[in-house]
Structure 1
């Protein structure tokens, strides 16, 4: 899979370039003084391996770091984004100037290990609903500055993206409802502000659900509904409006609510509880 495969490809590409540039500036500062210990013309080969099983994501971020540091470096990929990885699998071979490889190493690995960790988590959740007509969604609970990168990794792992940000759809939650004086008022105002945008409303009770079902909305979010209340919500909706289960979702809780077949389950853990995949770069110099 590549960044060009998602609907927000052009925005993602710009985001990729900007985040890589900032990450390099953050790490490099006035220059890599440790790399200066190595002869300037020394050449080397290197290979990145994974020390644990997972799913690869972030190739293009990794490439962009090496391209920015030294465009003469050669990268040969042995795995693609979306591939399942086994412990000690080689991922990519690198050849070129030793100093350049070592200067790029940490920033490039930071992107690759974080996005691979995100994709690995997403794959676990996608497998949990395999064969069911349920879509796992991410949330806005992302690492600041890496929103679109993590959403790409979620896609790589087999789950899908909710809204990208505050701009592309209405998500009317508890505080919005309180501020507007009720669900009906909030939905009416949303229709006035941007009639072409999708509207989702969060409900916390079955009474609120009934109120939301009477409104022209696209999705209703069931906030912290247990299995029994999810069953009642599905019956009440009668598939008139799509339902999304949300609220501290993990693999155990998903197993409880998916038996009642909401249309979507949103999982903040996909991006906020992510653990980076353990990757390592091994260098061999040409002497």
Structure 2
């Protein structure tokens, strides 16, 4: 009973930190991106999309001889993000879909497909892990160069104009540092919260007798990707719905490359050809293409959001029943 209470407490504290971190990120991401000279889309792709808690968890599991748990966490998180997170976001707000976000979604699908092909033989070795990490690094360079010095519109343009008229150079530097610090503190809160949530989830699943693959794809993945769900609500409150799409795409690309790649570098991931993780990797590789549905209207339809949430519930029922 005591261990159960401790696990529940860790989950509650983790969820609180995740929410606070997401609030801090959403509040300051616009100012930070304006002063860095990149778009909100780029900053959300590269920062909100980064999933260090997923990578750390996967590496620890791999190093301790649990390859299915390591890979299941990374792939399961993508399943959560592309169904539950994206679906809820489409249901609660007008989720914008632009040609640029679709292009990044297609790129994430390509990275997911590469990871899936690497795992088809049942093993993700160190060389393949190195390739995945290198692909992510190349993607970061591509996004950063592409999004540098975007046209200033809306709130970013107002911030820039205000800085020119009323703020001196020293004060501007101070404001830049403060905005960046708050963004990083928000990310730190999400990472620490995710870490605590993982510990709590691991305590809860000890008594359930599930396989490593199922644990990684369900409870552990939901716990470690919970900050993306929190980010949906924080971004919605502040009208930064573009952050949700970018963060979703960035997180999926990160997990399919860095999280899996680093875990394989620690120790090759021997999964077997017919592992549930491999099958789920194939499904999640295709899911980013759902953004194509919203390209014509400029937003992801609520009906699609509802289908994604239902798909998540169905997938969890299927996995937990095995």
Q: Same fold (TM over 0.5)?
A: no
> So what's the TM-score if we normalise by structure 2?
0.26
Computing the radius of gyration over CA atoms, which structure comes out larger, 1 or 2?
Answer: 1
Higher helix share: 2
Higher strand share: 1
> So what's the TM-score if we normalise by structure 1?
0.28
